[in-house]
Homo-oligomer: A and B are copies of this chain.
């Protein structure tokens, strides 16, 4: 790639920025990829896939109709998945986990689909669900077909009337021992499955979550592998009602669908029975632990944290490069118009975005290791660390989606009007980020779940029982220490805030309960504070993890790179201290002069990082095709690209649109 770049004429301002960079960009790229070998394999894949010009659009998809967008996405999907198959080495011994890790920074699909492709959940959830919940026999048969893409599938859980509250889901699966079949049924309009990607017109199979009933007795939610469409004709099977849920803010090519069953019968062996089982005679055999099902859920959340780091990198690259190219207004009347990146307000908007991408990619990598560790323990029956992992995954999912969607919008707004153009690719990026605030556990609900675990830990700790490593600080009973404006001081401060807030919540709940309020109502009345406590805890975890992981890694890095990474950790920490200064003032001994000093530290850091800003986003190593943006390309030809993209609008094909003759002219002439 570096070779290509020397061939293009680069905007002079960008070229100068690159000369100012004082660390090795390639070294940071390797660090982000997790090693030189990952950078190399990622680039090999990109070079291959991106050489297939038939994967790209001549007319950008935002000009197509909704139906055309879908059809165009399917055209590209089959090409793309066929090409990608050789990189998905489903060979013996290679697990889905190995491959996920290797693909952490593979964003090549964004070069083909500005949104996600309609088959995204085939690899993302359908295959993992069979792998995680199918018996060895089921896996043998179905995984093979799914991996070969002889069948295409998705995963259906959410319904029109229920998302987060899984127990409220209404789809039923009643076992009929006489025919050894399950009867799937959607009893109400609200029980329609609603949202699964690819469900509408693309897939022909689906893992469906339904309430299992045997002889009238309820046995919880269970997963069923259901054929939805005829493999030859693609016509929905009798008793299966399918359709599309309609246009959305984003994800326009995902083909989200609805699904209802009318007493639809499937063979007994289509229930995924790795955990719970239904025997031929209708005997229900419970699984070893209902908690095993948490595995997939946590896995998906880890993937989301990593995905947010990538979306943030994409938005930051676009906004930073644009800000280096764009010149507007003057700092001094005697000087020419300056690069907008020289405005400290612009640095304030954008540098934190770079730090945030790094913070979440670091946390995602760390969480991945925790996750694989806990999964390993669980295989041998040890569930001790599952609750902590679950709480961590919830926290990180929430904070990463919340922060990144907010900061992607900040990047967009930092590009002024041009950020509002679809050709900037920032609106699409926002659509992808903000969707994640809702799916896979709505953020407020997840924060309250984490709060529940914090309150439990508090109660446990108060009884002198030991707490898990990430929650142990809650019981720190030492007096509030003298404030220190250091990274450790700030991180300790955040822990104090979190512990203080949890304690306040417990006190308020206790007080209300003593006054006669039920615990549940007291919980609800305290929930605004519980959410805040939960967020504070998450921030403490993220700050500590980012700092620790970067420090640990820095020993193996060159001093210039280690320095710039430390600056970013520092910037990130001080930024959040200033954002949450009210909490620090309430719960720690920080004083006004400390705050002033932090503000000054922050501004000094902006100045220190400024020369490396373009180098930092270059290190994300996102190819122009992946950025897919008029504003963010490597060469900085911003205005030329904006004009070239504008001219692709089909409206520009004719000087006069037909609607003039039909409507405007008679209107202006008073004849309408």
Question: A322 an interface residue at 8 Å Cβ cutoff?
Answer: no
- List, in ascending order, chain B residues with CB within 8 A of A504's CB: 596
A sample of 16 inter-chain contacts (CB < 8 A) reads A63-B66, A74-B663, A149-B668, A192-B643, A201-B651, A244-B649, A245-B642, A246-B421, A249-B420, A249-B421, A258-B643, A419-B438, A420-B434, A420-B438, A582-B582, A585-B585
Q: How far is the CB of A325 from chain B (nearest CB, A)?
A: 10
CB atoms of A233 and B656 under 8 A apart = yes
CB atoms of B201 and A152 under 8 A apart = no
- List, in ascending order, chain B residues with CB within 8 A of A200's CB: 651-652
CB atoms of A65 and B655 under 8 A apart = no
Q: A77-B663, A244-B646 are in contact. List 16 more A-B contacts (CB 8 A).
A: A62-B247, A65-B650, A66-B650, A71-B659, A74-B663, A148-B670, A160-B642, A234-B660, A245-B649, A249-B420, A331-B520, A331-B524, A343-B527, A420-B434, A420-B435, A420-B438
- A residues apposed to B, CB below 8 Å: 60, 62-68, 70-71, 74-75, 77-79, 81-82, 148-152, 158, 160-165, 168, 189-190, 192, 194-195, 200-202, 204, 231-236, 242-251, 258, 328-333, 337, 342-345, 348-349, 409, 412-413, 416-417, 419-423, 427, 430, 434-435, 437-439, 442-445, 448, 504, 518, 520-521, 523-529, 531, 580-586, 592, 595-596, 599, 602-603, 639-640, 642-643, 645-652, 655-670, 672
CB atoms of B672 and A168 under 8 A apart = no
- List, in ascending order, chain B residues with CB within 8 A of A649's CB: 66, 243-247
Q: How far is the CB of A200 from chain B (nearest CB, A)?
A: 7
- List, in ascending order, chain B residues with CB within 8 A of A232's CB: 665
CB atoms of B422 and A82 under 8 A apart = no
Name the residue in A149, A164, A420, A531 with the highest tally of chain B Cβ atoms < 10 Å from its Cβ: A420
CB atoms of B202 and A158 under 8 A apart = no
- Beyond A164-B329, A603-B528, whether A248 also contacts B668 by CB under 8 A is no
| Secondary structure dominating the interface of A | helix
CB atoms of B63 and A67 under 8 A apart = yes
CB atoms of A643 and B417 under 8 A apart = no
CB atoms of B152 and A328 under 8 A apart = no
Cα-based distance from A345 to B451 in the complex (angstroms)? 13
Q: How far is the CB of A258 from chain B (nearest CB, A)?
A: 7
User: Among the listed B163, B602, B659, which residue makes an inter-chain contact with A328, where contact means beta carbons less than 8 Å apart?
Assistant: B163
- List, in ascending order, chain B residues with CB within 8 A of A64's CB: 65-66
Q: How far is the CB of A153 from chain B (nearest CB, A)?
A: 11
Cα-based distance from A445 to B346 in the complex (angstroms)? 11
- Beyond A582-B585, A595-B586, whether A444 also contacts B640 by CB under 8 A is no
